[in-house]
């Protein structure tokens, strides 16, 4: 918390922020106001109606909804009208195949148009959309499709051959495979999606789903263990819309770019649904991370609001690029980040290099949408996740052994980060794991599994995941604090910190460090870093051991897997590795 706040000033803003007075909004906001703002075209509530169909019938119909950038930089645009027609066709394809309301439609694909069309078309049919990350191997695909009772899989011919064909006998419920890139049907059950789409009508009656009906199945990132399947309902769209308005601050003319893959919840909630609910243009890049490419996208597409993740920001920070002379990023108005703690260093890097601070926000698969955030109009305290969104109550609580729960109102105390589970996008279950779901709720609270603290002004500070907290010599140490201190050293690109069992002090703080390009590991540098951390953190919290690594193990969604660092350090089983980023 040694960083100065970054103040905001309204004066130079061309676009007036949607959330002007946070305190006022917290006092007056009610989710029922969203009822009036989001008038769909149906008797029920369907995400695809709110995100798409209602715009296709409005004066936004010819606005670009999605712009796809292929790897070779070619562009394919879909207006709201076109996307609406294509997704109608997809819903009709499902109907023709006998796919019913509530059946699960899985998609295994890169960021190609078919994925987005399938997602929204599935919702229109009243079926459940479940995205899979295209780089998963066969076993993680099988695990998820089996647990999720997949009826339909949309994928490409190559992905099908490489990863799914051999699994078919083990997936008896899987009836239809729709291949997005073949001209003719292969056999009954393995269909050419383009051919079916061509034969389908481009209007359809959207299933009048009810607000509480299941719409989305999202598997968690598997950072702390076996991924869980979180169930979300159509009403979650209220939170997607509301947070895109107040946190992302979307306005009708915005060009929005969410860099997350729809295989993770961010890439669906904010890479598909939320921007469409506001009728804006979303950029979708088919290629993987590349610093020059990303800056060129921001420049050439004139991106105004950018939503990315700490792992990408750290990769950009590693490179010493003079952004002001090399790229024209003058259209960029707001930068947001989610997924992992955002080191204060990164917030300030944004301010210095992009001329814009990075706005951290916190949420998880289970919450379906952003819960705690930094807002355009509010000063940023670098290292803080910000404050709860209007309409959501967050608190620090402590659980007692007798099952009771106590809210900690005193500022500066660590405890469980908890939410009142009365907002529309809270998950409605873990698939086939009722017991685990029930355990997340204690008294009036949903316990998030993260530890945090609240300062005297209501800003929340991430301390760590419950599973990652280190208990050393009677102190509780959050790895984030130690990692952020190490990150301040100019040689450090990334750090991951764990507790290593130690008979004298409980756990010993050990750091794993990846260096910036051009920096060589050495004994002298190790001692320098240990000394640097001790000076910043004090001897009780600073790491006692430090090891250099080429790079740190991460999930495919870019989160440092401390459980794996720990398992490897201790020679323990590595556990579920389905989401580990490889190569
Ligand atoms: P699993 O639950 O399977 O271990 P996961 O928790 O990483 O995986 P996600 O739901 O994708 O799966 O991630 C949510 C978690 O990511 C949060 O609970 C939190 O630990 C972390 N996180 C997300 N955003 C932030 C943030 N801004 N600051 C700190 N941590 C964050
Ligand atoms: Mg989790």
389: DSSP letter: P
Give the pLDDT of residue 321.
85
Best of 140, 219, 340, 439 to mutate for ligand 1, by most ligand atoms within 8 A of CB? 340
- Give the integer Cα–Cα distance in Å for 328 and 345: 23
Spatial CB neighbours of 126, under 8 Å, sequence gap ≥ 6: 46, 100, 101, 102, 207, 209, 213
Return the HEC string of 114-146: HHHHHHHHHHHCCCEEEEECCCCCHHHHHHHHH
In this structure, which residue's CA is closest to atom 28 in ligand 1?
A: 341
570 exposed, middle or buried (CB, 10 Å; 0-12, 13-18, 19+)? Answer: exposed
User: What tokens appear for 431 in the block?
Assistant: 């698939």
Question: DSSP per residue over 80-112, as a string?
Answer: HHHHHHHHHHHHHHHHHTTPPTT-EEEEE-SS-
Give the pLDDT of residue 11.
62
Is 468-570 the same fold as 47-454? no
Bridge partners of residue 104, in order along the sequence: 128, 150
CB count in 10 Å sphere of residue 292: 11
Give the pLDDT of residue 10.
66
The CATH code of domain 468-570 reads 3.30.300.30
Q: What angle is formed at CA 40 by the lines to CA 39 and CA 43, rounded to 5 degrees?
A: 110
pLDDT in tens, 49-61: 999 999 999 999 9
pLDDT in tens, 361-394: 999 999 999 999 999 999 999 999 999 999 999 9
pLDDT at 1 over 90: no
- Give the integer Cα–Cα distance in Å for 568 and 458: 38
Spatial CB neighbours of 59, under 8 Å, sequence gap ≥ 6: none
Work out whether strand 190-192 and strand 214-219 pair parallel, antiparallel, or are unpaired: unpaired
pLDDT at 214 over 60: yes
- Residue that the structure tokens 């939170």 belong to: 239
User: What tokens appear for 566 in the block?
Assistant: 């720990």
Query: Does residue 358 line the site of ligand 1, with CB under 6 A?
Result: no
341: DSSP letter: -
User: What tokens appear for 423 in the block?
Assistant: 């907002």
Å from CA of 328 to ligand 1 middle: 33
Q: Which of 551, 520, 533 is nearest to 488 (CA)?
A: 533
Q: Coil, helix or strand for 3?
A: coil
Best of 216, 221, 337 to mutate for ligand 1, by most ligand atoms within 8 A of CB? 221
**For the residues 317-330, what does the mean pLDDT come to?**
88
Q: Counting atoms of ligand 1 from 1, which one is nearest the CA of 385?
A: 27
CB count in 10 Å sphere of residue 486: 27
Query: Does residue 269 line the site of ligand 1, with CB under 6 A?
Result: no
Give the pLDDT of residue 225.
80
User: What tokens appear for 97 in the block?
Assistant: 């195949």
**For the residues 549-565, what does the mean pLDDT come to?**
93
Q: Counting atoms of ligand 1 from 1, which one is nearest the CA of 448?
A: 18
Give the pLDDT of residue 516.
94
Query: Does residue 450 line the site of ligand 1, with CB under 6 A?
Result: yes
- Give the integer Cα–Cα distance in Å for 421 and 427: 9
> Do residues 436 and 147 make contact, with C-beta atoms less than 8 angstroms apart?
no
Question: Of residues 475 and 555, which shows the higher confidence score?
Answer: 555
Å from CA of 19 to ligand 2 middle: 29
Give the pLDDT of residue 583.
63
Query: Does residue 341 line the site of ligand 1, with CB under 6 A?
Result: yes
Q: Counting atoms of ligand 1 from 1, which one is nearest the CA of 372?
A: 27
- Give the integer Cα–Cα distance in Å for 306 and 259: 8
Q: Which of 337, 319, 336 is nearest to 376 (CA)?
A: 336
Q: How confident is the model at residue 14 (pLDDT cuts 50, 70, 90)?
A: confident
Å from CA of 449 to ligand 2 middle: 7
In this structure, which residue's CA is closest to atom 17 in ligand 1?
A: 364
- Sheet with 190-192, strands from edge to edge, namely 190-192, 176-179, 150-155, 104-108, 128-132, 214-219, 229-233
pTM as predicted:
0.94
In this structure, which residue's CA is closest to atom 13 in ligand 1?
A: 364
Give the pLDDT of residue 226.
81
Q: Counting atoms of ligand 1 from 1, which one is nearest the CA of 467?
A: 4
User: What tokens appear for 7 in the block?
Assistant: 């103040």
For the stretch 19-28, contacts whose Cβ atoms lie closer than 8 Å and that sit 24 or more positions apart, written own/partner, are 19/245, 19/246, 19/247, 19/249, 19/375, 19/376, 19/377, 19/390, 20/377, 21/377, 22/375, 22/377, 22/378, 22/387, 22/390, 25/246, 25/390, 26/388, 26/390, 28/390
In this structure, which residue's CA is closest to atom 23 in ligand 1?
A: 339
Domain ranges of the chain: 47-454, 468-570
Give the pLDDT of residue 277.
98
Q: What is the dihedral of CA 458, 459, 463, 465, to 10 degrees?
A: 90
Half-sphere exposure of 86 (CA within 13 A, CB side): 19
Å from CA of 222 to ligand 2 middle: 7
**For the residues 116-125, what does the mean pLDDT come to?**
98
The rounded mean pLDDT for the chain is: 95
Query: Does residue 436 line the site of ligand 1, with CB under 6 A?
Result: no
Work out whether strand 470-472 and strand 441-442 pair parallel, antiparallel, or are unpaired: unpaired
**For the residues 278-298, what does the mean pLDDT come to?**
97
Q: Which of 500, 443, 50 is nearest to 272 (CA)?
A: 50
Give the pLDDT of residue 5.
93
Provide the residues around ligand 2 (an ion) whose CB is within 5 A: 220
Half-sphere exposure of 521 (CA within 13 A, CB side): 11
pLDDT in tens, 398-440: 999 888 999 999 999 999 999 999 999 999 999 999 999 999 9
Give the pLDDT of residue 12.
65
In this structure, which residue's CA is closest to atom 21 in ligand 1?
A: 340
- Give the integer Cα–Cα distance in Å for 132 and 487: 32
Question: Is CATH 3.40.50.12780 the classification given to domain 47-454?
Answer: yes
């Amino acid at each position: 918390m040694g960083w100065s706040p970054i103040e905001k000033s309204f004066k130079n803003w061309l676009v007036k922020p949607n959330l002007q007075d946070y305190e006022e909004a917290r006092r007056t906001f009610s989710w029922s106001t969203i009822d009036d703002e989001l008038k769909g075209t149906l008797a029920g509530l369907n995400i695809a109606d709110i995100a798409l169909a209602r715009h296709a019938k409005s004066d936004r119909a010819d606005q670009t909804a999605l712009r796809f950038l292929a790897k070779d930089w070619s562009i394919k645009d879909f207006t709201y009208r076109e996307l609406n027609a294509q997704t109608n066709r997809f819903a009709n394809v499902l109907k023709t195949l006998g796919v019913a309301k509530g059946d699960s439609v899985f998609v295994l694909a890169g960021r190609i148009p078919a994925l987005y069309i399938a997602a929204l078309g599935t919702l229109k049919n009243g079926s459940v959309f479940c995205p899979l990350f295209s780089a998963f191997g066969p076993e993680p695909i099988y695990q998820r499709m089996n647990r999720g009772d997949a009826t339909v899989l949309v994928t490409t011919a190559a992905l099908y051959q490489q990863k799914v064909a051999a699994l078919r006998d083990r997936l008896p419920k899987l009836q239809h495979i729709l291949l997005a890139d073949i001209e003719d049907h292969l056999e009954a059950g393995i269909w050419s999606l383009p051919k079916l789409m061509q034969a389908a009508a481009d209007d359809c009656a959207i299933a009048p789903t009810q607000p509480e009906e299941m719409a989305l199945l999202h598997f968690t990132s598997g950072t702390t263990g076996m991924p869980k399947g979180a169930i979300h309902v159509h009403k979650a769209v209220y939170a997607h819309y509301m947070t895109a308005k107040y946190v992302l601050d979307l306005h009708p003319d915005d060009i929005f770019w969410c860099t997350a893959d729809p295989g993770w919840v961010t890439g669906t909630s904010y890479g598909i649904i939320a921007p469409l609910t506001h009728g804006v243009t979303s950029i979708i890049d088919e290629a993987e991370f590349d610093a020059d490419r990303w800056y060129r996208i921001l420049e050439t597409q004139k991106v105004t609001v950018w939503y990315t993740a700490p792992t990408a920001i750290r990769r950009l920070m590693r490179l010493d690029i003079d952004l002001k002379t090399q790229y024209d990023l003058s259209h960029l108005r707001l930068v947001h980040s989610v997924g992992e703690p955002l080191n204060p260093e990164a917030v300030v890097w944004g301010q210095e290099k992009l001329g814009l601070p990075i706005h951290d926000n916190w949420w998880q698969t289970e919450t379906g949408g952003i819960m705690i955030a930094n807002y355009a109009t509010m000063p940023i305290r670098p290292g803080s996740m910000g404050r709860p969104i209007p309409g959501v109550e967050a608190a620090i609580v402590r659980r007692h052994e007798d099952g009771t729960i106590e809210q900690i109102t005193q500022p500066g105390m660590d405890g469980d980060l908890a939410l009142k589970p009365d907002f529309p996008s809270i998950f409605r279950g873990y698939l086939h794991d009722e017991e685990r779901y029930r355990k997340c709720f204690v008294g009036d609270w949903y316990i998030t599994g993260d530890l945090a603290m609240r300062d005297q002004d209501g800003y929340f500070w991430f301390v760590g995941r419950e599973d990652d907290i280190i208990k050393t010599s009677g102190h509780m140490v959050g790895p984030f604090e130690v990692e952020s201190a190490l990150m301040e050293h100019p040689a450090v690109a990334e750090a991951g910190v764990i507790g290593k069992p130690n008979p004298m002090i409980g756990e010993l703080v050990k750091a794993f460090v990846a260096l910036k390009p051009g920096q060589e590991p050495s004994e002298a540098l190790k001692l320098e870093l240990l000394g640097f951390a001790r000076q910043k953190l004090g001897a009780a919290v600073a790491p006692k051991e430090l090891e250099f690594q080429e790079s740190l193990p991460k999930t495919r969604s870019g989160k440092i897997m401390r459980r794996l660092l720990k398992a490897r350090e201790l020679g323990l089983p590595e556990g579920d590795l389905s989401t580990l980023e490889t190569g």
